[in-house]
């Protein structure tokens, strides 16, 4: 018992030790000392509810983070909640209330200076006790000051705007769905006839919690039926996601018959139930499985299935988050549910298949990371990776990082793991910057030695041709593209010739042989299938890099040479020069 008791103590002055914790989202009206009235949204704290919070978070609000002083600092997950608020609310004001600081001297010792340094939008720290009614007035005053600091609170409302607000409040008493035509009538009756002015006012009514008018990334309404009563919607959504039948018995599977049992028929008729499920799909909380059946990812089992091993040469791509909101992976599962491979999906991940390509996308919660593995033909797997990245980056745009800088940013960072260098993580974002700037190499430290990575070759391996076409132009401004073939589709390979695209080997005697081998490999590439050609390119580049070392590692260069010879055997006499030159280099290396 904590935030719910604190909410009631603030709003009506009562305290009931038997009152149950919030299991949904409850709204309350809070009169403030300065004459304002605030609307409190009390969120259920259970972990599986976190995926729903983004739909009720707003940048035009004050956040009250309630901690339990009887828990440890770690148990309260202070930074988790502050980062989550930053993700969806930006730099909106936050008040931290250390509750249950009662007469028994339970107090929370918070690192206030550090927290305020990292989260400067924290406007107050308050010790409270709902039981003893201590600190409540201090908290009320802090809320009033924070509310007054919100830009839209200082806007002077016209009488017509207040009249529309009052009419909507009255309308909700007998209608949970208000048709948009009815809203337009209410506005017109109060002198607001311009459709654009009506839309602006509706957005404000949504932010104030008077009605709900959820919008997608294109600002299109999620509910075509009309604007909605907040309590009616949240009650239905939370009844569904907290239903024991869904979470325990069917482990995420919801049927029409179950829906009838979960939602009372007097408030939710069959059309209403259909509307709620349509909203849940648009919220990306559920996806359909045929007629009258749905899956809820955040109600699925947490344990991942067996047999998720991917080959060592699979593409690996990763996103790191300041804090990993659960909604990232659950929304991704909903977005890609049509590609799920053999029903292998769980609360924290999913296996996808497109044609011959297969992908594993899963959340690594302790490390605040999403991992992506993609295998299959090299010429097509980059397209599956691109689609996965596209879905995740669309989800990322719902965070408030766009246009934000410094401490208010919620920056998601992307990395690749080059297959030629096990254990190495390379910033994908840095590679894009280097390519745009025309840089050809990126220096990294791998297994205790400095290596120069080919920027273009790395990007070619992780992005479709249409993405890296402009990168190639940038690189050509500064000189020849590094010797390689750019795969532009099955059977359509363009060779980029460059006789000296590598640094001179440490042993000068190897230089002419390596130059001849490079030319012979380039001549051979157009006669190979796309997969074999790309593997030959990788082996050549790895050999070039290894021979720049004072003491080349035989474990690396011998594998590369054997790979080139294996590719050459596929094309008979055309590959003979590659085999001959590779053997000469091998003998010279001893």
Flag whether 570 is in a domain: yes
Flag whether 505 is in a domain: yes
pLDDT band at 506, cuts 50/70/90? low
Number of H-type helices and E-type strands within the chain: 21, 21
**DSSP states of 221-277:** BS-SS-EE-HHHHHHHHHHHHH-HIIIIISTTEEEHHHHHHHS-TTT--HHHHHHHH
Percent of the chain with pLDDT over 70: 84
CA–CA separation, 414 and 64 (whole Å): 32
* Sequence-separated (6 or more) residues with CB below 8 Å from residue 386: 463, 464, 467
Q: Please check whether residues 149 and 8 belong to one and the same domain.
A: yes
Q: How far from 396 is each of 50, 57, 220, 258, 265, CA to CA, in Å?
A: 16, 15, 18, 33, 37
Q: Please check whether residues 147 and 12 belong to one and the same domain.
A: yes
| Averaged pLDDT, 498-514 | 61
| Averaged pLDDT, 525-544 | 87
CA neighbor of 129 nearest in space, from 191, 206, 70: 70
Q: What mean pLDDT value characterizes the chain?
A: 82
Relative to beta strand 122-127, strand 227-228 is: unpaired
| Averaged pLDDT, 490-511 | 50
Whether the Cβ atoms of residue 461 and residue 445 lie closer than 8 Å to each other:
no
Cβ count near 191 (within 10 Å): 13
State residue 584's pLDDT score. 86
Flag whether 306 is in a domain: no
- Which of 58-72, 338-352, 370-384, 400-414 shows the lowest per-residue confidence on average (mean pLDDT)? 400-414
Among the candidates 299, 325, 356, a domain finishes at 299
Sign of CA dihedral 525, 530, 532, 535: positive
Q: Greater confidence, 561 or 36?
A: 561
User: What's the DSSP call for residue 2?
Assistant: -
Provide the terminal-to-terminal Cα distance of the chain, rounded to the nearest Å.
Answer: 74
- CATH code of the domain in which 339 resides: 3.30.310.200
CA–CA separation, 223 and 271 (whole Å): 13
Q: Greater confidence, 454 or 41?
A: 454
Q: Please check whether residues 118 and 20 belong to one and the same domain.
A: yes
Residue located via tokens 């609360």: 347
Strands (DSSP E) contained in 77-198 are 94-99, 122-127, 177-178
Helix (H, G, I), strand (E, B) or coil at 68: strand
- Which of 427-441, 487-501, 547-561 shows the lowest per-residue confidence on average (mean pLDDT)? 487-501
Which two structure tokens, joined as six digits, stand for 251?
A: 């482990």
Cα angle 392, 24, 395; round to 5: 10
Q: Please check whether residues 69 and 143 belong to one and the same domain.
A: yes
Beta bridge partners of 95: 64, 124
CA–CA separation, 212 and 237 (whole Å): 13
- CATH code of the domain in which 170 resides: 1.10.10.10
pLDDT digits 0-9 by tens, 226-274: 898 888 888 888 889 889 999 999 999 999 999 999 998 888 999 899 9
Q: Please check whether residues 145 and 202 belong to one and the same domain.
A: no
Q: Please check whether residues 272 and 284 belong to one and the same domain.
A: yes
Flag whether 20 is in a domain: yes
CA–CA separation, 177 and 317 (whole Å): 44
Q: Please check whether residues 25 and 97 belong to one and the same domain.
A: yes
Whether the Cβ atoms of residue 98 and residue 67 lie closer than 8 Å to each other:
yes
Q: Please check whether residues 210 and 250 belong to one and the same domain.
A: no
pLDDT digits 0-9 by tens, 313-360: 899 999 999 888 888 999 999 999 999 999 999 999 999 999 999 999
Q: Please check whether residues 18 and 140 belong to one and the same domain.
A: yes
Predicted model pTM = 0.70
Percent of the chain with pLDDT over 90: 34
| Averaged pLDDT, 168-191 | 93
Whether the Cβ atoms of residue 280 and residue 286 lie closer than 8 Å to each other:
yes
- CATH code of the domain in which 274 resides: 1.10.10.2200
Flag whether 544 is in a domain: yes
Q: Structural domain of residue 150, as residue ranges? A: 3-154
Among the candidates 355, 381, 415, a domain finishes at 415
Whether the Cβ atoms of residue 336 and residue 328 lie closer than 8 Å to each other:
no
Counted domains in the chain: 5
CA–CA separation, 476 and 112 (whole Å): 53
CA–CA separation, 247 and 47 (whole Å): 13
Q: Please check whether residues 352 and 411 belong to one and the same domain.
A: yes
CA–CA separation, 296 and 156 (whole Å): 43
pLDDT band at 530, cuts 50/70/90? confident
Which two structure tokens, joined as six digits, stand for 73?
A: 């600092």
- CATH code of the domain in which 138 resides: 3.40.50.300
Among the candidates 173, 202, 228, a domain finishes at 228
**pLDDT for residue 470 is more than 50:** yes
Flag whether 150 is in a domain: yes
* Sequence-separated (6 or more) residues with CB below 8 Å from residue 10: 30, 40, 136, 139, 140, 143
Flag whether 420 is in a domain: no
pLDDT digits 0-9 by tens, 475-492: 443 333 333 333 333 333
Q: Greater confidence, 538 or 333?
A: 333
Q: Please check whether residues 509 and 402 belong to one and the same domain.
A: no
Compute φ and ψ for 2, nearest 5 degrees: -160, -85
Q: Please check whether residues 40 and 177 belong to one and the same domain.
A: no
pLDDT band at 152, cuts 50/70/90? low
Sign of CA dihedral 180, 184, 185, 187: positive
Flag whether 475 is in a domain: no
Which two structure tokens, joined as six digits, stand for 97?
A: 């209330």
| Max mean pLDDT range (103-117, 370-384, 534-548) | 370-384
Beta bridge partners of 493: 487
Cβ count near 538 (within 10 Å): 21
């Amino acid at each position: 018992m904590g935030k719910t008791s604190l909410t009631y103590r603030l709003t009506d002055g009562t305290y009931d030790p038997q009152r149950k914790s919030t299991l949904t989202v409850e709204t309350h009206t809070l009169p403030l000392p300065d004459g304002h009235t605030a609307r409190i949204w009390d969120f259920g704290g259970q972990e599986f509810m976190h995926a729903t919070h983004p739909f009720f978070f707003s940048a035009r609000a004050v956040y009250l983070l309630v901690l339990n002083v009887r828990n440890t600092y770690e148990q309260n997950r202070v930074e988790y909640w502050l980062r989550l608020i930053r993700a969806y609310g930006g730099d909106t004001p936050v008040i931290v209330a250390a509750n249950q600081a009662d007469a028994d001297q339970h107090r929370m010792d918070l690192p206030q200076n550090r927290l305020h340094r990292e989260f400067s939008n924290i406007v107050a720290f308050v010790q409270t006790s709902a039981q003893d009614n201590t600190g409540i007035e201090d908290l009320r005053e802090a809320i009033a000051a924070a509310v007054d600091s919100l830009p839209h609170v200082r806007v002077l409302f016209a009488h017509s705007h207040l009249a529309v607000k009052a009419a909507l409040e009255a309308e909700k008493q007998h209608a949970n769905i208000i048709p948009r035509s009815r809203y337009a009538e209410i506005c017109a009756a109060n002198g607001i006839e311009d459709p654009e002015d009506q839309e602006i006012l509706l957005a404000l009514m949504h932010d104030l919690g008077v009605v709900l008018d959820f919008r997608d990334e294109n600002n299109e309404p999620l509910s075509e039926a009309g604007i909605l009563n907040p309590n009616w919607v949240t009650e239905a959504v939370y009844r569904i996601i907290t239903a024991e039948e869904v979470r325990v018995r069917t482990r995420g599977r919801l049927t029409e018959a179950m829906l009838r049992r979960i939602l009372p028929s007097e408030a939710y008729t069959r059309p209403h139930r259909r509307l709620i499920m349509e909203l849940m799909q648009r919220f990306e909380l559920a996806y359909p499985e045929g007629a009258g059946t749905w899956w809820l990812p955040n109600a699925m089992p947490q344990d991942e299935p067996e047999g998720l091993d991917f080959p060592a040469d699979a593409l690996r791509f990763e996103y790191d988050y300041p804090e990993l909101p659960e909604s990232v992976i659950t929304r991704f599962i909903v977005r890609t549910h049509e590609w799920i491979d053999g029903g292998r999906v769980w609360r924290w991940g999913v296996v996808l298949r497109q044609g011959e390509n297969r992908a594993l996308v899963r959340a690594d919660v302790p490390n605040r990371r999403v991992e992506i593995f993609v295998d299959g033909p090299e010429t097509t797997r980059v397209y599956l990776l691109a689609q996965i990245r596209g879905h995740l980056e669309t989800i990322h745009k719902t965070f408030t990082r766009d246009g934000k800088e410094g401490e208010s940013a919620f920056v998601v960072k992307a990395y690749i793991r080059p297959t030629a260098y096990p254990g190495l993580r390379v910033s994908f974002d840095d590679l894009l910057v280097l390519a745009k700037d025309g840089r050809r190499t990126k220096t990294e430290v791998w297994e205790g030695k400095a290596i120069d990575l080919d920027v273009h070759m790395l990007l070619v391996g992780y992005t479709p041709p249409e993405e890296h076409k402009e990168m190639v132009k940038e690189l050509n401004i500064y000189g020849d593209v590094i010797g390689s073939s750019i795969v532009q589709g099955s059977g359509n390979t363009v060779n980029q010739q460059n006789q000296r695209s590598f640094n001179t080997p440490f042993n000068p005697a190897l230089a002419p042989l390596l130059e001849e081998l490079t030319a012979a490999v380039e001549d051979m590439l157009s006669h190979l299938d796309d997969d074999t050609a790309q593997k030959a390119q990788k082996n050549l580049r790895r050999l070039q890099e290894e021979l720049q070392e004072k003491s080349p590692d035989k474990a690396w260069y011998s594998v590369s040479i054997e790979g080139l010879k294996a590719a050459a055997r596929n094309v008979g006499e055309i590959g003979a020069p590659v085999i001959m030159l590779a053997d000469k280099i091998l003998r010279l290396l001893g």
